[in-house]
Chains A and B, each alone.
Chain A
Amino acid sequence: MAARGCGGVWRRARQRGAGGPGPGPFPRGQRAVACNAKGGAVPAGKSGLAPWIPVVGLEIHAQISSNSKLFSGSQVQFAAPPNSLVSFFDASLPGTLPVLNKRCVEAAVMTGLALNCSINKKSLFDRKHYFYADLPAGYQITQQRVPIAVNGSLSYSLCIDNKMSQMVTKTVRIKQIQLEQDSGKSLHDDTRSQTLVDLNRAGVGLMEVVMEPDMCCGEEAAAAVRELQLVLQTLGSSQAVMAEGQLRVDANVSVHHPGEPYGVRTEVKNINSIRFLAKAVDYEIQRQIEELENGGTILNETRAFDSKLGCTVPMRDKEGKQDYRFMPEPNLPPLILYDAKSLPANMNHQQVINIDWIYERLPDLPSVKREKLVEQYGILPEHSFTLLNEDGLAEFFESVVKQTQMKPRKVIGWILNDLLSYLKQHSLTVKESPVSSCLLADLLNLLEKKEISSSAAKQVLAELWKGEGKTPLEIVKEQKLELLQDQKELEQICQAVIDGQENEVIMMVPG
């Protein structure tokens, strides 16, 4: 909690111009320049140079990775045929009742523990009402009053000025994690003025993770979400793939002057990737600063990020101001969790959730894994981040290390500079790599034994990418890339070269 906030006060000038995580060049570029030209001439008595403090909070919906939905037995699956995973309850047929999925509760408890939350031994479910085509019951079951986990924190790191060597670690407070139902999906067909509804997603379990407004720029928000994503994936509580909607981020953004209360905030939605999150937040911060410095006001509104234009635009509000008319969900008794102390002896262990039991079985979290990597292999801390950021890369690295005599500190160079950049260039995942850890290890062993040169090794690797099933040794032999260990043979070769180039030799000798 020590490293809260950027320590960053933003001045307009800092955000201008190219580079940095600033807003895209269009379409506000024009106005930004115009503003800039005005210099400090800001109306409303405020000095244009008065620094602004941006405040960013996040609401993150993570789809729980489970076989069935939060309150029904329907399967959870991405991209199944429309309305093929819909139970009577999901379609809210009259008379159906919710039955809580234990796996979803366990996922939330795991996540809560991993985020240092206190787990509420008694939490409650509520109904949140609004009419929408993809919400068949007319309400969402959520945890408004007493959520399952509260008061946690998440540490994340980011590099300063894009330099990997200058990493800082910050902490964002987690206000709460609540269990709730996902909605279905509406597809609007404007030409036929039809709305098509797919209820496959309706009722899938979500964890809403509410992060306190402890961040101050897009980079921080992006780093925090990336760390959360890694945590969720490590736990297996969510697959957390943003592109598949398993992780959805809404950002609450406001700006204010030091010593003044927080400004009016806007909520930015429709952010589909971590990269866009950074862009959207920074754009919104900048927009608010400009708006205020131009004497305008910020409306408490919901804005959507337009990734093509790189800006946020006001969203058409569904029905103006909503009153969700929250009410306790009467069909679900309070959710009671136990720990080793409170667990009643006569309880069926299949039916209860023991927090301590889950805690003891938590896997190593990314932060711990990184520490271990640094400690065990002597690699740089920043390299440990890169290793964990790519799914499966750390495992690949460790597997290579196990199979070679090369020092891990050297191996990491090959992993990051060669393997990773190749994969990135070709948009491949680690799993899809044409070169297995075993092949790479073979190659590095040849290098380590000085059988080939480093440049020859690169040549072999280039050949290996083709994925023709040849071993590094075969390639070395085929292309005669071995380092020559025999003095005589070397002399012969040299002599042959010299003999073939007599003119050049003659010319060189006097020189």
Chain B
Amino acid sequence: ALKDGLLSQVSAALKEGRVTPTELCQRCLALIKSTKFLNAYITVAEETALKQAEESEERYKRGQPLGILDGIPIAVKDNFNTAGIETTCASNMLKGYISPYNATVVQKLLDQGAVLLGKTNLDEFAMGSGSTDGVFGPVRNPWSYSKQYKEKSVPKSHSEDEESNWVITGGSSGGSAAAVSSFTCFAALGSDTGGSTRNPAAHCGVVGLKPTYGLISRHGLIPLVNSMDVPGILTRCVDDAAVLLGSLAGHDPKDSTTVQDDFKPFELPNLTDVSKLSIGIPKEYHAPGLSSEILALWSKAADLFKNAGAKVVEVSLPHTRYSIVCYHVLCTAEVASNMARFDGLEYGHRSDKKESTESMYAATRREGFNDVVRGRILSGNYFLLKQNYEKYFVKAQKVRRLIATDFVKVFRSGVDILLTPTTLSDAAPYTEFIKEDNRTRSTQDDILTQAANMAGLPAINVPTALSERGLPVGLQFIGRSFQEKQLLTVAKWFEKQVQFPMIQLEEVKKHDSDVFQHQKSASFS
């Protein structure tokens, strides 16, 4: 039953006693060790995880588990506060910082019995699209070590090339995506500001859900852009994403931007009839740089819906093309503001420079932040200067409104769900990726995902197929505000149609043949 590593299946196994929470936790911890080279985790909370597993085990023994998440090993991106476990944002600024409180989403998971394995790697302060720009080094995409990729891409004769052929995970929640993809946990939290959950999900072949802004509490998520940040969910299937959503969503008195209404968790129906569905294909997503392979896959997916009886229509979101430049202004402005608190006084890194308070601030921030963060702070402050505010910030806000209105119009016209690519291409080898600077890369990579953040809409990456290089490619569904159930239902139907292949982790198997035993059979399904 554990063979697909799905949350719902392992939960049933726990309930039936076929596996205990401690066994499960130990297996995951062993796997984390054997996949250490992926650099998916910044902190592994072995001790607390085993303790949580033990407590869970007690509950199962008493026949009183807390629910479907009880005993399920999960991982959390290292920009969510976790009481007693280091929270670094992959930055020198917060290295060694131990928060005194749990983010609301973390607390909710723990309250439901989940076992927190550790904190996953990311770009510093979530600023990036590769998970390559954190102080703890880049995350490696587990697919780099898959049989599928090796067979197609790695020249067998040059074994030394293997080291330089590994591909990135995408980002910034690359650690979480890699953790889910490599089976070291059953679900992970990411964050999504411009695509940071969906992008790595696409590259790592997992489901990545960015819920509607305001549906899930941001309290305890160290912000990138407050008005766009949403906690993201990474799982191995759409059903699991729905489970996580149900356990996390709803009003939080600690986050005034969450919806007032209670959220009713749902189970996803198996859609049999899509004929009443209207799928919109936004023509602007046919963006420059979109690989022909992904374009083909996108049309194939549209055909799939058409052939199943759904209405597929081309739609236009005319202002989406301004979203990158608009995002740049809004994002950097909020970054400049949000980062102001890191002055070395109350917490985090503090420079030894003591000539004056100002020089201490300057040195602290110089030493604490990388170039990307400092660059964004600089531009953001420029846009917020009195003489620039109207010209940049206010204008960007207006453009943001236009982008959001585009979506409203399209949905009002009768379209239920939009279908788009998630990324322009499959994952790039690290050596290729770092040839461009962070800003250029982010600009290119966020192009297909960002507009959903601008509009606050729910969107999900569904792994669709493998590329010619044997790497995952995903497609994105964007839904109406707070219509997660409809979005996930359609995503689930699509997931079932495409039968995305299971990763075959040869490399890891060598390290831990026992743990990965179940995957061998999976690969034939």
* Residues of A that sit less than 8 Å from B by CB: 88, 91-100, 127, 129, 131, 133, 136-139, 195, 197, 319, 323, 325-327, 330-333
CA distance A482 to B227 in the complex (A): 81
In whole Å, how far is B180's beta carbon from the nearest beta carbon of chain A?
23
| Contact B345 A133, beta carbon cutoff 8 Å | yes
Q: Which of B101, B219, B340 contacts A138 (CB 8 A)?
A: B340
Q: Which of B219, B337, B393 contacts A97 (CB 8 A)?
A: B219
B293 at the interface (CB under 8 A from A): no
Q: A327-B333, A327-B334 are in contact. List 7 more A-B contacts (CB 8 A).
A: A94-B81, A94-B341, A100-B256, A129-B340, A138-B339, A138-B343, A195-B357
What are 12 sample pairs from A and B whose C-beta atoms fall under 8 A apart? A93-B99, A93-B101, A94-B342, A97-B254, A100-B256, A131-B343, A138-B339, A325-B337, A325-B386, A330-B225, A330-B257, A331-B257
| Contact B357 A133, beta carbon cutoff 8 Å | yes
Closest to A98 in B: B256
Q: Which of B80, B81, B87, B385 contacts A325 (CB 8 A)?
A: B385
| Contact A136 B346, beta carbon cutoff 8 Å | yes
Q: Which residues of A contact B253 (CB under 8 A)?
A: 99
Q: Which residues of A contact B361 (CB under 8 A)?
A: 131
CA distance A98 to B343 in the complex (A): 20
| Contact A95 B341, beta carbon cutoff 8 Å | no
* Residues of B that sit less than 8 Å from A by CB: 80-81, 87, 89, 94, 99-101, 103, 218-223, 225-227, 253-257, 333-334, 336-337, 339-343, 345-347, 357-358, 361, 381, 384-386, 389, 393
Closest to A130 in B: B340
| Contact A95 B81, beta carbon cutoff 8 Å | yes
The winner among B94, B340, B347 for most chain A CB atoms within 10 A is B340
Q: Which residues of B contact A323 (CB under 8 A)?
A: 385-386
In whole Å, how far is B109's beta carbon from the nearest beta carbon of chain A?
16
In whole Å, how far is B355's beta carbon from the nearest beta carbon of chain A?
10
The 5 closest A-B CB pairs, nearest first, are: A138-B340, A325-B384, A330-B226, A330-B227, A94-B222
The winner among A127, A137, A139, A327 for most chain B CB atoms within 10 A is A327
| Contact A88 B341, beta carbon cutoff 8 Å | no
| Contact A137 B341, beta carbon cutoff 8 Å | yes
Closest to B389 in A: A326
CA distance A464 to B341 in the complex (A): 60
CA distance A26 to B333 in the complex (A): 50
Q: Which residues of A contact B346 (CB under 8 A)?
A: 91-93, 136
The winner among B225, B336, B384, B393 for most chain A CB atoms within 10 A is B384
In whole Å, how far is B347's beta carbon from the nearest beta carbon of chain A?
7
CA distance A93 to B218 in the complex (A): 14
Closest to A86 in B: B346
How many A-B contacts at CB < 8 Å in the complex? 100
| Contact A95 B99, beta carbon cutoff 8 Å | yes
Q: Which residues of A contact B81 (CB under 8 A)?
A: 93-95
A95 touching B343 in the complex, CB below 8 Å, given contacts A327-B333, A331-B256: no
Closest to B102 in A: A95
CA distance A510 to B346 in the complex (A): 96
| Contact B381 A325, beta carbon cutoff 8 Å | yes
Q: Which residues of A contact B254 (CB under 8 A)?
A: 97, 99
CA distance A332 to B384 in the complex (A): 19
Q: Which residues of B contact A127 (CB under 8 A)?
A: 337
Q: Which residues of B contact A139 (CB under 8 A)?
A: 337, 340
| Contact A95 B222, beta carbon cutoff 8 Å | yes
In whole Å, how far is A184's beta carbon from the nearest beta carbon of chain B?
10
Q: Which of A94, A96, A327 contacts B393 (CB 8 A)?
A: A327
| Contact B94 A94, beta carbon cutoff 8 Å | yes
A97 touching B341 in the complex, CB below 8 Å, given contacts A133-B357, A327-B333, A327-B393: no
CA distance A333 to B336 in the complex (A): 20
Q: Which residues of A contact B219 (CB under 8 A)?
A: 95-97
| Contact A95 B256, beta carbon cutoff 8 Å | no
In whole Å, how far is B51's beta carbon from the nearest beta carbon of chain A?
24
CA distance A327 to B347 in the complex (A): 25
In whole Å, how far is A334's beta carbon from the nearest beta carbon of chain B?
11
CA distance A127 to B339 in the complex (A): 13
Closest to B355 in A: A193
In whole Å, how far is A345's beta carbon from the nearest beta carbon of chain B?
16
| Contact A97 B255, beta carbon cutoff 8 Å | yes
The winner among A95, A136, A197, A319 for most chain B CB atoms within 10 A is A95
| Contact B100 A88, beta carbon cutoff 8 Å | yes
CA distance A195 to B101 in the complex (A): 28
Q: Which residues of B contact A96 (CB under 8 A)?
A: 219-220
| Contact B256 A197, beta carbon cutoff 8 Å | no
